[in-house]
Structure 1
């Protein structure tokens, strides 16, 4: 297992007492479509951890791979003046992970978290496990609980 994914799994075990079932794919899971194809699920079941700057504060939105986050709509939903995609440095500083591998929890710092409410329609979703080649299955309600994520509509 990739050392970064192993570190994520160990952190999840230490912080939350849970075992993460990491699946690693050499071909990568960088996009939601890539992940869905290698995992064998619908794109809507891919839980992508996206970092944004909301009024210059980093937030994470765990969104369905089938949805594109409408930043203006998200800003309205969370009471921010402005929401924009975070640059790679902010993503790494806020979470400890690089773009494409950001897990929904176990970040290096406290970060306000939201979850795309459409993910909650599934019995199981797949989220990044610390690298663009690793994912893990999780019940979306459990994911929201572990991430302390508030459900929000991410599209208008």
Structure 2
């Protein structure tokens, strides 16, 4: 069941609040057996999966890059490499992703990470008034305007989903 919760408790919500960026925190009961965290979130909150974006980490020429794409699609590794001026991209090792971001897999937020990483948001995000991204833990999503997501992360916008 989806419910709105208070905007506190994770580095992502703290960063947004400090920056004065309007956002809404939504929580739901996370199922540890869920096959897809993002699709689970969309279903639990009763929203179009095209508005829920997953945060993935890729290694582009051995440099970690954050990719934010709709949960209803996949990351195009060649496109994310091109978006950051790289040649080759592979999915990052989950342990490396957790270490670099300070979040656990399934709850990695593109906002408020331990250290800033190059970030690319899929261009489809700009087609929505608001989008949902992980709030920094499983069962927590942040709803915000896509331009605020781009601003908060210093992201590049490119066609990186398929």
TM-score range, shorter chain: 0.7 to 0.9
Q: How large is the RMSD of aligned CA atoms in angstroms?
A: 2.2
Per-residue deviation, residues 71-121 of structure 1 (Å, max 9, x unmatched): 123223332121111111211122111111111211100200110001111
Retained in 1: the 8 A contact 2:80–2:120? no
Tell me which of 73, 81, 85 is aligned to 1:67: 73
More helix by share: 1
Partners in 2 of 1:64 and 1:77 — Cα distance?
17
With the length of structure 2 as denominator, give the TM-score of the two structures: 0.84
Instruction: Tell me the equivalent position of 2:95.
Output: 89
Single out whichever of 21-30 and 84-93 deviates more from structure 2.
21-30
1:139 aligns with 2:145: yes
With the length of structure 1 as denominator, give the TM-score of the two structures: 0.87
CA shift at 1:124, angstroms?
Answer: 1.2
Instruction: Tell me the equivalent position of 2:24.
Output: 21
Count the aligned residue pairs.
Answer: 153
Q: Which runs of 5+ in 1 are unaligned?
A: none
CA shift at 1:20, angstroms?
Answer: 4.4
CA shift at 1:123, angstroms?
Answer: 0.9
